[in-house]
Structure 1
């Protein structure tokens, strides 16, 4: 199959792959720049991006702003010509501040999920930064596109569909995830494509990117044939040399089995998928008292939350893989070695090209 360029406005990615944003600290400048240098779109996660700053514990808001700016500048130094973006969760308390930093640093794209980014067009007004909401249904795609068009006369530059096989904060109820298979991503894609027809202007289609359970070049080819403009892959990039997480974090994915991956409930009620470890066993039975709140998520109440998600994610990315939280897509168990981003991209493109 011929590899087509992913076009988002004037941006042209040689390969139709967006590396998904992974927080805390899993996808920073190192991984994003490496993907961008290979012709994909590299994404920095803004989630608690300042966790390594010396004043993070007592001044998380400013530490995150400072760190995001630094990561974007570093990524641009590492990849002067590549396409670099940021993933900012709507559920984040300082959402507007982080988006503004991304715009000021001339991020090429901003991808925003964990809620509908209803006022994102206003925050990027006057810039060349392209924006995309993450949706999990045709209904959500229709709602956010209509809001942007009616309120700001702005259509999404592209839309990311996150299916039930993804990790992180998922836009599904727990019982829905337990019944879903990856075939549902195809159904959701068709629904989104149908809903977006009403918003086409002058024959210009909104590019649709699919995510969740995309693992091989054959998976990519399947959705390109259906009419997707590209795919977003996150988990697949964890076991790369350039991934910004600790080596023990990467090894945890190499060591895990299919049975080790399970659905969990996050402190804000959104389900996710994670590798089972001692931490998961503990929080499945009891709460872990929050001794320090980082005010990271809007809907999290430290008095009654089951655990601090910031602390859990920071522990794991720094190498404490038994006492932290490791989000993963459904195929996280399939990785068996650490490779370079170049090697991974080459593998995927060869598989894609081999599809008739």
Structure 2
């Protein structure tokens, strides 16, 4: 059996693989366009994207929108494939980033880190941008559907359901991360059930994309057999030549061990999965102290008490300066053996899928 297509409305991805949006600056136009060119959906991460720019005043709010517009244009110039953006609800400039993405004609907006209850209001006449919330429960999917239908007469174009093995900020309490009740295998059927109710009400198809800890073609086969229309992978795409991070960031994945995978309490109030390093050890040991914030990029960040700036730490890591930051990573990052091209990676996933899912 070959990998099926992923259809989101009138968008058709030749392979049902969404490259997860990874910030700060890990997935920009380079990675997103390469994935789109191979038939998947490439995704630019909007979070503090201005910090990746070479322009002055890069932390200013307007710099974020300018940098996002630049990256969308660069990606579209490199591919005729499907390009999306990931915009966290928790961003203080959420509205500006969504409006910029719609104006630039991006194909899909993926939005999590909170419930994007007002996302459809940013669509303008003639906009073809698809709206895809990221959820971690059937209840969240139901709430969004009800709200969008009642307020905007709009149904989500798809959902991403993200389990607790994902990298970066997680939509779970720490004590839920290893609880089988909250595993992707448990929450995927729950979201599928919740979405089915609204498919029947509206007569529209709402594809559900599984995410969080998916690593091989065999994993893809498993979740598609469970009813997912496609999958989202982030960690696998970090160790690619086209990934927009510094080589030292990618090498941190290759060099990591299972014991290096750790869950931190992020300054934004959420647990986050990362690769353990000296910076995080210093945070744990209380060697970092509260700092002055030149920009409040996330609504939930406790600037007065947090020991470090998450945006600064992540952009330092993206630039290869891991002494001053750390790498977010999924639970399976330690399985990374080498850096390959996006083309090689997708070919490998296809071959593994065909073995695991014979016709």
Fold similarity call, TM over 0.5: yes
Residues 319-350 of structure 1 show CA distances to partners (whole Å, capped at 9, x for unaligned) of 01232121110000111111000000000011
Q: d(CA) in 2 for partners of 1:102 and 1:52? A: 17
RMSD, matched Cα: 1.5
How far residue 306 of structure 1 moved from its aligned partner, in angstroms, is: 2.8
Residues 179-227 of structure 1 show CA distances to partners (whole Å, capped at 9, x for unaligned) of 2359820110101111112211454331000100000000000011111
- Choose 51-60 or 224-233, whichever is displaced more: 51-60
How far residue 145 of structure 1 moved from its aligned partner, in angstroms, is: 1.2
Q: d(CA) in 2 for partners of 1:231 and 1:93? A: 28
Structure 2: runs of 5+ lacking an equivalent: none
Structure 1 contact 158–209 (Cα < 8 Å) conserved: yes
Q: d(CA) in 2 for partners of 1:225 and 1:103? A: 33
Residue 191 of structure 1 corresponds to which residue in structure 2?
190
Structure 1 contact 164–180 (Cα < 8 Å) conserved: no
Structure 2 contact 17–231 (Cα < 8 Å) conserved: yes
Residue 27 of structure 2 corresponds to which residue in structure 1?
27
- Counterparts of 1:37-56 in structure 2, within 5 Å, are 37-54=37-54
Q: d(CA) in 2 for partners of 1:64 and 1:145? A: 29
Are 1:279 and 2:279 an aligned pair? yes
- Choose 224-233 or 58-67, whichever is displaced more: 58-67
Residues 208-247 of structure 1 show CA distances to partners (whole Å, capped at 9, x for unaligned) of 0010000000000001111110000001100000000000
Residue 68 of structure 1 corresponds to which residue in structure 2?
68
Structure 1: runs of 5+ lacking an equivalent: none
Q: How many residues align?
A: 354
Residue 347 of structure 1 corresponds to which residue in structure 2?
348
Residue 143 of structure 1 corresponds to which residue in structure 2?
143
Residue 318 of structure 1 corresponds to which residue in structure 2?
319
- Counterparts of 1:285-300 in structure 2, within 5 Å, are 285-286=285-286, 287-300=288-301
Are 1:110 and 2:109 an aligned pair? yes
SS at match of 1:303: coil
How far residue 294 of structure 1 moved from its aligned partner, in angstroms, is: 2.0
SS at match of 1:50: helix
- Choose 127-136 or 294-303, whichever is displaced more: 294-303
Q: d(CA) in 2 for partners of 1:215 and 1:58? A: 34
Residue 252 of structure 2 corresponds to which residue in structure 1?
252
- Counterparts of 1:59-98 in structure 2, within 5 Å, are 59-79=59-79, 81-98=80-97
Residue 16 of structure 1 corresponds to which residue in structure 2?
16
SS at match of 1:269: coil
How far residue 77 of structure 1 moved from its aligned partner, in angstroms, is: 0.6
- Counterparts of 1:192-231 in structure 2, within 5 Å, are 192-200=191-199, 201=201, 203-231=203-231
Residues 140-170 of structure 1 show CA distances to partners (whole Å, capped at 9, x for unaligned) of 1111111111111111000000101001111
Q: d(CA) in 2 for partners of 1:351 and 1:110? A: 29
Structure 1 contact 164–181 (Cα < 8 Å) conserved: no
How far residue 56 of structure 1 moved from its aligned partner, in angstroms, is: 5.5
Structure 2 contact 149–155 (Cα < 8 Å) conserved: yes
Structure 2 contact 28–43 (Cα < 8 Å) conserved: yes
